[in-house]
Amino acid sequence: MLRRSTPPAADISVSIGSRPLYPGDIVEAEVSVTPHASFLASVGYVRLSQTEVLRIDSARDAVPQMMMQGRRGRSRFGEPVQVDHVFIEDTMLEGGVLQRFPVQLRLPVPAPPTVKGKYAHITWQLSASILAKSDWMPSGKGLLANLTLGKVGEITQEVVVFAHADAANIGGERLPDQPTINRQFRNVGMDLSLDSGLAVNGGAIDGNLSVSTQTPVKARELRVELARWERSGNKQARVVESQQILQRPAIQDAGEQTDWAFHLPVPDRLMPSVLGQHTFVGWQVRAIIDRALRPNLSVTQLVQVYTSP
């Protein structure tokens, strides 16, 4: 016959060091425990876990990654991360007495950074739990013995993981230090060059656009824009984050070559370039000759965006 009694309880909090975290760094934290009454804690552990959300067209728009097979393409990262660390075991905790336990866990290398977009979503969490034996369950061995352990308390806190300023660590191909691309149309040549192929959130991308013409050109406008693609499962979106109008209307005589410098701000968001199991985020700079009713002329250069505090 089962005998019910009040299970033990405790207030638990977790504080994480203020140092910015990148893949491979050590997460330093402190777990604070204040039991409501004295009890014997069977085990106390912290868990660092990563969640990548897969967006699908179904009744449930988002499901955990482990429920579906991987997306097409090759991820730079492995399966979702889960790291456990035990900080107490078979320890008597006195009621009303605050106890602090320092813990350390290491982020894996490589590891996907935190991503928070419309569809793309990768998050990290640090949780702390304490388990104790429950005297209203029958004792036993094997599975029954595990069932006799109940959670005394649990707390979860988000951990932000930033992306290194290195194309090899944030997905995609490594770009030249100063990427340049040109494209030749029938009567127009476009040459796009960037000061750097890397940019940080909250920073900017600077570059130069050169347009040469063999015949007179008249278009609605000439502009450059910074666009972001994000995809999760079969959900995707393209967003123009910033743009600069270089000339409106765009008029150039035959045989001319004109250069324009541009400056494109990068939004201060947790949206780094990344290629995960089900998540893709990519950035590009695009120069466009907008010819209204006729097809536009454009040239595009990929860029890598990383994140920092």
Look at 8-22, 53-67, 183-197 and tell me which has the smallest mean pLDDT.
53-67
CA 224, CA 190: separation in Å to the nearest integer?
12
Q: Are the C-beta atoms of residues 154 and 129 closer than 8 Å to each other?
A: yes
- Count structural domains, the chain: 2
Q: What is the mean pLDDT of the chain?
A: 84
Mean pLDDT in residue range 6-24 = 88
Tokens of 50: 């990563």
Beta 279-290 vs 221-232: how paired, if at all?
antiparallel
Same-domain check for residues 132 and 16: yes
Same-domain check for residues 218 and 104: no
CA 122, CA 77: separation in Å to the nearest integer?
12
Same-domain check for residues 119 and 198: no
Q: Are the C-beta atoms of residues 114 and 162 closer than 8 Å to each other?
A: yes
Domain-embedded: residue 3 = no
- By residue range, what is the domain housing residue 70? 10-159
Same-domain check for residues 246 and 149: no
Given pLDDT bands bounded at 50, 70 and 90, which one contains residue 228? very high
Higher local confidence (pLDDT), 1 or 21:
21
Same-domain check for residues 107 and 184: no
Residue reference for tokens 């370039």:
273
**185 C-beta neighbours (distance < 10 Å), count:** 13
Domain-embedded: residue 164 = no
Look at 35-44, 78-87, 141-150 and tell me which has the smallest mean pLDDT.
141-150
Same-domain check for residues 143 and 210: no
Given pLDDT bands bounded at 50, 70 and 90, which one contains residue 57? low
Which candidate, 288, 214, 294, places its Cα nearest to that of 250?
Answer: 288
Q: What pLDDT, on the 0 to 100 scale, is given for residue 74?
A: 44
Same-domain check for residues 22 and 103: yes
